[in-house]
Structure 1
Amino acid sequence: MTLPRTHRRTFAAVGALAGAAMVTAMVGVPATAAPSVGEIRSAGGATAVADSYIVVLKDSAVGGRAGTRQGAVKSTAKSLADRFGGTVGNVYGDALNGFSVKLSEQAAKRLAAHPSVDYVEQNHTVTTQATQFNPPWGLDRIDQRNRPLSASYTYTSTGAGVTAYIIDTGIRKSHVDFAGAAVDGIDTIDGALPADDCNGHGTHVAGTVGGNAYGVAKDVRLVAVRVLNCAGSGTWDQVIAGVNWVTGNHLPGQPAVANMSLGGGLTAALNTAVANSIADGVTYAVASGNSYGANACNYSPASVSTALTVNASDSNDARATFSNIGTCTDLFAPGVSVLSAWSTSDTATNTISGTSMASPHVAGAAARVLQLNPSWTPAQVHSYIVTQATPNVISNAGTGSPNRLLYAAPTS
């Protein structure tokens, strides 16, 4: 995996500086130095958003780590945007000391060299991780170690008392499968509530996490964090704003999980935000991606080491052909032809496939674990989920992938 490089300043050659000094001495007029410029991480590419950047500040520039100096982040963002001729978009501060900004490429390069800035990253679009298929199958694979399936899903815990943040396209909260358990959180697409789902993906994911008929954790509280639009796409700055809100909304000691069934190219800013949100006490399940056997280490948020990164398996315990693989992933979960709630009506359902469908199975299982162990840290939940997973049942798991299938024990 090639990690993004930190920004570097470009200085004039020694000979040029010497020449400038000579001219100054001769004519008595101060030489004007060229402005320092830095590097833009993740610049260009098909998904790049023109003239849109994510700025990550040094902790020292705002006087503390993320989550402690929100006011300083806001004032620093305005000051830097004004100085370099930009317009501030989203201001973070809970999950990340940073902000998004609209400005020219050249101005962004100058901003990257400012001593208060850790790095500047180009904004990119991000999409859901799902593909349409028809034949449905149920939840019963994850409550047993081996096939054949028992045609039942047995459980004693339901995720009661746990909050599940669905970072996605929104949720159709009125759907009968939620029975009032789904509420609005934030909408970073329209900037105002309600965080309704005009795509379907978020409702489907929420149904798998905590729906009455289709959910793993049937009594979890579902919170809609809308960061993707009606087409199922958004930008990294909008996704980071959602993660930032989750981090600020989460109360100390409150058992909580978050699901991110979305992904795109590698971005240090999002990975940092998710890692900080996990450090704040929220357990994250994330999709490994649907790039047909690609290395998940090259994608975000799949490459966040402290998140539960989930590959997709089918009903025959084979790796789904579309699923990413690799050492940055943690386990497999059902992700082919998954039936769940849909957004077109209060009773609608749909059967779709993707690592997007695998990840919410793990988020629901984590919510059940937290109901019984509400003081556990994300690291403890992560360890338990991975350790309890059924080993060596996935065929063609892929190079570097851990051969483990999610197991949500009936008594856990």
Structure 2
Amino acid sequence: MKLFTVLTIVAVCLIAWARSKKPFIRKVSDWVEGEYIVVFKDEIVGDVATATEAIMKKLDPLDLKLAKVNRVFNKAINGAVIQTMNVKSIDLLESMASELGIAYIEQDAKVKPAEIWNLDRIDQTSNILDGTFNPSGDGTGVNVYLVDTGIYTDYSNFANEPTDWIDIYSGRKAPVKGDCNGHGTHMAGTIGSMTYGVAKNVNLLSVRIFDCNGDTTWGYVIDALEYILANSNPNIPSVINLSLSGGVSDAANAAVNKLYDAGILPIVAAGNGGINSCETSPASAEKALVVGGLGQADEQVFNYGQCVDVIAPAINIESLNFERTRKIPSVIASGTSSAAAHVTGAAAIILQNNPNWTPVDVENFIKSTATTVTGLDNPILYVY
């Protein structure tokens, strides 16, 4: 009986050891086919190049260029990155591991930068971030009219270079290239840049209404909406971003409602004054999709009230910088302007996937899929 007990314990220990032991050739997800990281045993210190050369002689003894060394390491690890399409030759190295001083071999894999918090937050219902942003589209084929300070377009960060469509502030003259304030470029980056954008392949059309100090009037805003209504292409699914706020203007609200009726969903900022958004325009427009602010701890920030439909990231948003400081390619800013930009990008993805949808369809989808969080007055944008 004692012998049986001892043997049972030994067997259990061996099974546990076998399960805990990692394989010699370690497979990974998102493998770069043909690339391997060879890690040598500690005693190879200082002689990694020679050890790597010995491996290459085993993989390609006739020097037929069947394998190559991409990198050699002797400080971070003792190892090398090698490349060969002959999987059998890699398997062969396992039988020679002791001879060649190899500890293990790991498939080399692709690595992506962790997404900035705001993009990471909107493609999941939980605020425990997973470091990724995986939307169901990129806004291809959708026009976004950005009514703002302009867009600095000399960036390689746009899949589709934004169009300086019209400069309302200069009297509908030829567009003034660029952005002398920065607000519009930051919004454009959040809507559609490759690094910071929600919809990374959308068509951005700049409609400038502000001067370089960020000042304008409702007259310019209405003129911009008039121009869009007269010149937009009805055959291309479109959305408009109005990341701006001021006192209540019945005239501006009426113009915003006309856009909705014409098939272009107006997405507007709730404002940043810490007041009821219904006391501002265009947030008080009946048919505007109004976006409030979300902080990094899932707290609601800036303006509030029954006019707010959904909330989106609005604190510490990294996006593109503008021309006067272009040596610093990105800048961090906060406000419901950025929140509205996130929803604008989301609407572009929705329209890409459903190009015949009306503003009411897109609006209802955004509202119905938003994440309800206990303690918040409004749901959080969720991008499929």
Structure 2 residue 240 is matched with structure 1 residue 258:
yes
Alignment match, 1:153: 133
Aligned amino acid, residue 152 of structure 2: R
Partner of residue 316, structure 2: 337
Report what 2:181 is aligned to: 199
Displacement after TM superposition at 1:347 (Å): 6.2
Cα distance in structure 1, aligned partners of 2:308 and 2:283? 7
Matched, 1:216 2:198: yes
**Pairing 1:381–2:356 present:** no
Q: Tell me the TM-score normalized by structure 1.
A: 0.62
Secondary structure class of the residue paired with 2:290: strand
Would you identify which runs of 4 or more consecutive aligned residues in structure 1 move more than 3 Å? none
Instruction: Encode CA deviations 1:224-270: one digit per residue, 9 max, x unaligned.
Output: 00011111110110111111111112222320011011010000111
Q: Is 2:117–2:129's contact at 8 Å kept on the other side of the alignment?
A: no
For residues 295-344 of structure 1, the C-alpha deviation after alignment (integer angstroms, 9 at most, x for no partner) is 11111001112221000011110012xx1111111010000000000113
- The residue that corresponds to 1:64 in the other structure is none
State the partner residue of 2:383. 408
Q: Please list the CA deviations of residues 21-76 of structure 1 after superposition, one character each: whole Å capped at 9, or x if unmatched.
A: xxxxxxxxxxxxxxxxxxxxxxxxxxxxxxxxxxxxxxxxxxxxxxxxxxxxxxxx
Contact kept? 2:157, 2:194, Cα under 8 Å: yes
Q: Deviations over 1:123-142 (max 9, x none)?
A: xxxxxxxxxxxxx7441000
Q: Which residue of 1 aligns with 2:271?
A: 289
Of 138, 155, 176, the residue aligned with 2:156 is: 176
Q: d(CA) in 1 for partners of 2:379 and 2:160?
A: 34
Q: Deviations over 1:99-146 (max 9, x none)?
A: xxxxxxxxxxxxxxxxxxxxxxxxxxxxxxxxxxxxx74410000001
Alpha-carbon separation, structure 1, partners of 2:204 and 2:306: 30
Alpha-carbon distance in 1 for matches of 2:365, 2:262: 19
Change (3 A) 1:307 1:346: farther
Gaps of 5+ in 2: 1-115
Residue 368 of structure 1 pairs with residue 343 of structure 2: no
Letter in 1 for 2:351: L
From 372, 377, 392, the equivalent of 2:373 is 392
Counterpart-to-counterpart distance in 2, 1:179 and 1:198: 22
Q: Could you say what secondary structure the match of 2:362 adopts?
A: helix
Q: Distance in 1 between matches of 2:278 and 2:118?
A: 30
Q: Is the contact between residue 144 and residue 348 of structure 2 (CA under 8 Å) also seen in structure 1? A: yes
Q: What is the CA distance between 1:179 and its match in structure 2?
A: 4.1
Report the TM-score when normalising by structure 2: 0.67
In structure 2, what residue type is equivalent to 1:361? H
SS at match of 1:165: strand
User: Shift in Å at residue 392 of structure 1?
Assistant: 2.1
1:228 aligns with 2:203: no
Change (3 A) 1:195 1:257: farther
- Cα distance in 2 for partners of 1:347, 1:224 equals 22
Identity of aligned residues (%): 41
Which is bigger in relative contact order (C-alpha 8 A, separation at least 6)? 1
Moved more, 189-198 or 167-176: 189-198
Displacement after TM superposition at 1:189 (Å): 1.4
Letter in 2 for 1:203: T
Q: Give the whole-Å Cα distance in 2 for the aligned partners of 1:241 and 1:265.
A: 18
Q: Which residue of structure 2 aligns with residue 327 of structure 1?
A: 306
Partner of 1:353: 334
Task: Provide the aligned length of Structure 1 versus Structure 2.
Answer: 265
CA distance in 2, matches of 1:341, 1:236: 27
Shift of the 378–346 alpha-carbon distance from structure 1 to 2, 3 Å rule, reads: farther
Aligned residue in 2 for 1:274: 256
| Alignment partner of 1:189 out of 157, 169, 172 | 169
1:243 corresponding residue in structure 2: 225
Residue 253 of structure 1 contacts residue 375 of structure 1 at CA under 8 Å; is this kept in 2? no
**Aligned amino acid, residue 210 of structure 2:** L
SS at match of 1:262: coil
2:153 is matched by which residue type in structure 1? K
Question: Which secondary structure does the structure 2 equivalent of 1:184 belong to?
Answer: strand
Which AA in structure 2 matches 1:380?
Answer: D
Give distance in 2, aligned partners of 1:138 and 1:306: 26
Structure with higher Rg: it is 2
Letter in 2 for 1:289: G
CA-CA distance at 1:283 after TM superposition:
1.2
> What is the one-letter code of the residue matched to 1:375?
N
* Contact 1:140/1:153 (8 A) holds in 2: yes
**By percentage of residues, which structure has more helix?**
2
TM-fit CA distance, 1:180: 4.2
- For 2:280, give the aligned amino acid: Y
